[in-house]
Amino acid sequence: MLTRLRSRVVDVAPGAAFIAALLLCLEIAANSEWVNRALLPPPSSWALVVWDLIASGQFIAPLTETLLRLAAGFAIGVAAGTGLGLVMGYWRPFHDFMEPLVELMRPIPKAALVPAMVLFLGIGDSMKITSIALVVFFPMLINTVQGVRGTDPVMIDTARTFGYGSAAILWKIVFPAALPFIFAAMRVALGLGMVLAVLSEMVAGSGGMGFLILDMQRSFRVRQMYAWLVILAVVGLALTALLGAVERRVLHWGLTERPTGVKRTRGKD
């Protein structure tokens, strides 16, 4: 346990040192007035605001609001994308039937759909959750299909020899084999979901972190704006670490090499 912790510290030390050096450079530049302090205050002033927000508990309500929307949209997108991906990857006729629609929708930047969804769903939580679910859905779908297709056919043939039906093969053989690809997609989808959660709150919100950040910018409360951005970055890092811990727990059965990312798309999400 101690060895693993020491190894982890060694791994993250260079990146942490780079971030510290970057913040130090910004601090020097702002205090030396090499940059406009009204637009880029020194990071130490952001830190004071962050501390005040944490000490007063003011960050809890907007953070909770954003995270609840993210959790709902992420869960829907993961479930729908993984489920449809399993079916499309396993049954070729269904894949051929669905592929034109998927390829038509996939390149569209999901942020561009937010105004249209406002027209149909209004500016409430349903629009925000749907936006998040859509941006999560496509990475999950594409990578799950790739994971299913990468399943060893010998394992499938062996399962059939032992009398497994299609549903049993899909659940007991194909799904576990595709899990590394599914978790790789979840890492990407989590970041995209956070982007759409904040963006939808900026476009049509009256609460949440996205609305607050935009409100700070409009009222020129620059230090507060950067402070909320710092909180948002830390939350994103914590969520990624949590997902990584879940992945290590689920894939403890001997995964030696994990996919590094999802299949590249032709459009931006």
In the numeric block, which tokens belong to residue 238? 């914590």
Largest Cα span, the chain: 75
Q: Do the domain assignments include residue 185?
A: yes
CB neighbours of residue 184 within 10 Å: 21
Taking the C-alpha atoms of residue 58 and residue 52, their distance in angstroms, rounded to an integer, is 8
Q: State CA 136 to chain mean position distance.
A: 8
In the numeric block, which tokens belong to residue 41? 């205050």
Taking the C-alpha atoms of residue 157 and residue 163, their distance in angstroms, rounded to an integer, is 10
- Rank 11-20, 206-215, 257-266 by mean pLDDT and report only the highest: 206-215
CB 26 within 8 A of CB 40: yes
Taking the C-alpha atoms of residue 151 and residue 146, their distance in angstroms, rounded to an integer, is 9
Q: pLDDT digit string (tens) for 61-76? A: 999 999 999 999 999 9
Q: Do the domain assignments include residue 232?
A: yes
Taking the C-alpha atoms of residue 41 and residue 31, their distance in angstroms, rounded to an integer, is 8
Q: 252 or 202: which carries more pLDDT confidence?
A: 202
For the four alpha carbons of 120, 126, 131 and 135, in that order, the dihedral sign comes to negative
Q: Do the domain assignments include residue 17?
A: no
Q: pLDDT digit string (tens) for 212-238? A: 999 998 888 899 999 999 999 999 999
**Residue count (the chain):** 269
pLDDT above 80: residue 190: yes
The pLDDT value recorded for residue 228 is 93
Look up the pTM and report it. 0.84
State mean pLDDT over 86-106. Answer: 91
* Measured CA distances, 49 to 22, 38, 211, 216 (Å): 19, 15, 18, 13
Q: At CA 113, angle to CA 111 and CA 115, rounded to 5?
A: 100
Q: Do the domain assignments include residue 227?
A: yes
State mean pLDDT over 121-142. Answer: 92
pLDDT above 70: residue 106: yes
Taking the C-alpha atoms of residue 177 and residue 109, their distance in angstroms, rounded to an integer, is 30
Which domain range does residue 219 map to? 55-250
Q: Do the domain assignments include residue 223?
A: yes
At 253, the pLDDT band (50, 70, 90 cuts) reads: low
Q: Do the domain assignments include residue 41?
A: no
Q: Do the domain assignments include residue 24?
A: no
Task: List phi, psi (to 5°) of 83.
Answer: -60, -50
Sequence letter at residue 198: V
In the numeric block, which tokens belong to residue 138? 């496509």
- CATH number of the domain bearing residue 144: 1.10.3720.10
Domains contained in the chain, number: 1
Q: Do the domain assignments include residue 134?
A: yes
DSSP assignment of 62-96 = HHHHHHHHHHHHHHHHHHHHHHHHHHHHH-HHHHH
